[in-house]
Amino acid sequence: MVDDAASNNARRKSLVEERLEFVGFITGLNTQFRDPKLIRHVGEGWTHPWKYFDSLRSYLLLTCFDLLGQPAPYKDFQTWLVAASTRAERVAAFAKVAPEASLRDAVAFVHREYLSLYGTKNAFYRFVDEILPKEACAALLYSVRIRRIDPHQNREIEVIESDQDKKAFLYEVRNSYTHSAAITGSPAGGVFPNWGDPIVIDVVPMRGWEPIHYKDSGEFRIEYSVRKWPTVLIETLEAGLEALTD
């Protein structure tokens, strides 16, 4: 059992390191795409191809969260139903089905039990809440800012401090890219030299916020901004890998 856990951790570490290497490769392309002439006007605003690269980096890094949060090597539902290695999990799930449950309800219940072990969302939150050291988790959540703004007056109404909302946003960035190719990145790195580097203010290096996503909420708008990405995401994964190997 110990050997299985060690093997699983080694496999996950290898996959994460491969994605980190690819993220480094994408970052290395920045100088080739840093060109204001590539700006395109969209509606009342503008965009730049670098936005797609920035979004892809965040997606790749966030997929590592659920990879590191899986309690065992991933198996799809069909494999889980027949694999010899998951027999004990199936037996435990079937035993919880209510005797009076219809076939549909029984299947739905067993599938939920499967998701509790191998589902992306559960694994993602497990990594953040249970595996990641507290200091690294705090730094991750600190890198996200959520504001309710008045879009007509460009005025801040409220800063939403909920950690749960921040975690939900992180998962949404990961999941919306997977299922609908939603782009949540910043085009600024393709336009401004040294974008993301700190600015020294009163002898203190400071970083600003980059809005990467908006949601309309009635007459107001919810603005999601990040700071020091993708560096914070990389540091988060490094802390998670270290926690798994301790």
Tens digit of pLDDT for each residue in 37-93?
Answer: 999 988 778 899 999 999 999 999 999 999 999 877 778 889 989 988 889 989 999
Of 85-94, 156-165, 198-207, 229-238, the least confident: 198-207
Question: For the residues 223-242, what does the mean pLDDT come to?
Answer: 95
For the record, the structure tokens of 112 come out as: 């939920």
Burial of 243 (0-12, 13-18, 19+ CB in 10 A): middle
Count CB neighbours of 55 within 10 A.
21
Q: What is the pLDDT of residues 6-38, one digit of tens each?
A: 777 888 889 999 999 999 999 999 999 999 999
CA distances, 3 to each of 8, 73, 79, 116 (Å): 9, 13, 22, 23
The mean pLDDT of the chain is 90
Question: For the residues 193-213, what does the mean pLDDT come to?
Answer: 84
Residue 63 near residue 174, CB atoms below 8 Å: yes
Nearest partner of 11 among 67, 57, 59, judged by Cα: 67
Nearest partner of 132 among 66, 57, 75, judged by Cα: 66
